[in-house]
Amino acid sequence: MRTITTTEDLATFCEAAKTHPYVTIDTEFLRERTYWSKLCLIQMALPGKDGEAVLIDPIEGEGMSMEPLYDLFRHKATVKVFHAARQDLEIFFVEGKVFPDPLFDTQVAAMVCGFGEQVGYETLVKKIARENLDKTSRFTDWSRRPLSQAQKDYAIADVTHLRVIYEWMVGQLAKNGRQPWVEEELAVLTDPATYTVHPEEAWTRIKTRTSSGRFLAIVKALAQFREDYAQTQNVPRSRVMKDDALLELASTRPANMEELSRSRMLLREGRKTEIAEGILAAIKIGSEMKPEDMPKPDTSREQLQVNPALADLLRVLLKAKSEGLGVAPRLIASAADLDAIAAGERNVDALRGWRAEAFGDDALRLCRGEIALSAKGTEVRVVRV
């Protein structure tokens, strides 16, 4: 195992990787104290038990360019293999505006190969590679240098075992014909919209039971200020203000520093002049927002006229289908999806793509009375009517 800290060495390794059908990749990063993830380490391994595995250290190699890696990402003849790639991809998209192409995510593949939802890497290592991971370095501060040998060994294991897992997964997908299912899920991971946060839409992620237009207008303005500030200053949203403090401020609507100082939930960081002035300005914007510009809560789900008997039948059908396929039910359809279908909605994720093949098409047949369900022992069968 060697550590790469120069652009030249990185370019040499990446050129070698281009001659292989795949390369496994993982990252170590920190995000507790920043809005954007701080990339601390990249691990990569070439195929084969003895294929070279390297650590790429952007901290010790402070002047190293990542362009050779991004060029490998654009090299279509080599599959870039990750496990649970979402946060890794966000880092590369934010820093390099590039996605690995083609991409393979073993966590996504595991979901359609019978391992359930969001299966952990450690589980796959045990079940497929027949190895155990040393977890002693799991909570490492990856920004500190030098790295110990134990830390390096822990990091490199994230890509060496991944070779065995990837090759096994590819074989399983060839047998069960579900590669298109995986590709459909991966398309979401390589969509820039997945990683682009628009400050003006940040309010939609805040849970509130209040539907008052004026209250929501202030929530929107506060959430937009928080998102803008967090992004530009590269600090966590919670350092600006937590959701409970934001909702408290939207309710109490302080108009000056003295009133703001009475907030029970605003942390010390949020009382600093720059943030405090931004909060007061946002409250003013929300308070003066015209009625026609006020945000409106999505009440479409609340207005659904759900047929409870049909919803129950759909749940039985989903259970039968998921057991037959060896796929976690929630991966195919959520409880909200089932209620929406039972209420006559058709713009539902469970009715599109591979989910339609697995469940959605039969769900619609059930709604139309074209199929029925019968039970024999513990087995549920679909019967044509």
Question: pLDDT tens across 105-148, in order?
Answer: 999 999 889 887 778 999 999 999 998 888 777 778 999 999 99
Question: pLDDT tens across 11-26, in order?
Answer: 999 999 999 999 999 9
User: Domain spans of the chain?
Assistant: 2-194, 199-293, 308-384
Find the helix or strand (DSSP H, E) in which 105 lies: strand 103-105
Q: What is the pLDDT of residue 231?
A: 95
Q: What type of residue is 54?
A: V
The CATH class, in words, for 308-384 is mainly alpha
Mention every residue, 6+ apart, whose C-beta is less than 8 A from residue 111. 117, 118, 119, 185, 327, 328, 331
Q: What is the pLDDT of residue 376?
A: 81
Structure tokens at 27: 């990252």
Structure tokens at 358: 């697995």
Structure tokens at 38: 């701080």
| Residue length of the chain | 385
**pLDDT range class, residue 164, cuts 50, 70, 90:** very high
Q: What is the pLDDT of residue 172?
A: 95
C-beta of residue 84 within 8 angstroms of C-beta of residue 122: no
**pLDDT range class, residue 303, cuts 50, 70, 90:** low
Q: For residues 20 and 15, what is the distance between their CA atoms, to the nearest angstrom? A: 10
Question: pLDDT tens across 349-382, in order?
Answer: 999 999 999 999 999 999 999 999 998 888 888 8
Structure tokens at 157: 């294991």
Mean pLDDT (the chain, rounded): 93
Q: What type of residue is 156?
A: I
Q: Which of 88, 35, 48 is nearest to 66 (CA)?
A: 88
Q: Is there a common fold for 2-194 and 199-293?
A: no
CATH number of this structure's domain 199-293: 1.10.150.80
Question: pLDDT tens across 250-294, in order?
Answer: 999 999 999 999 999 998 888 999 999 999 999 999 999 999 999
Q: Say which residue, 160 or 115, is predicted with more confidence.
A: 160
Architecture of domain 2-194: 2-Layer Sandwich (3.30)
Whether residue 341 is predicted with pLDDT greater than 90 in this model: the reply is yes
Q: What is the pLDDT of residue 139?
A: 79
Question: pLDDT tens across 206-258, in order?
Answer: 998 888 999 999 999 999 999 999 999 999 999 999 999 999 999 999 999 99
C-beta of residue 68 within 8 angstroms of C-beta of residue 11: yes
First-to-last alpha carbon distance for the chain, in angstroms, is 63
C-beta of residue 372 within 8 angstroms of C-beta of residue 314: no
Cα separations (Å) of 340 from 41, 287, 294, 304? 44, 35, 27, 7
Question: pLDDT tens across 315-325, in order?
Answer: 999 999 998 89
Question: What integer is the mean pLDDT of 74-100?
Answer: 97
| 273-287 helix and 213-233 helix, angle to the nearest 10 degrees | 150
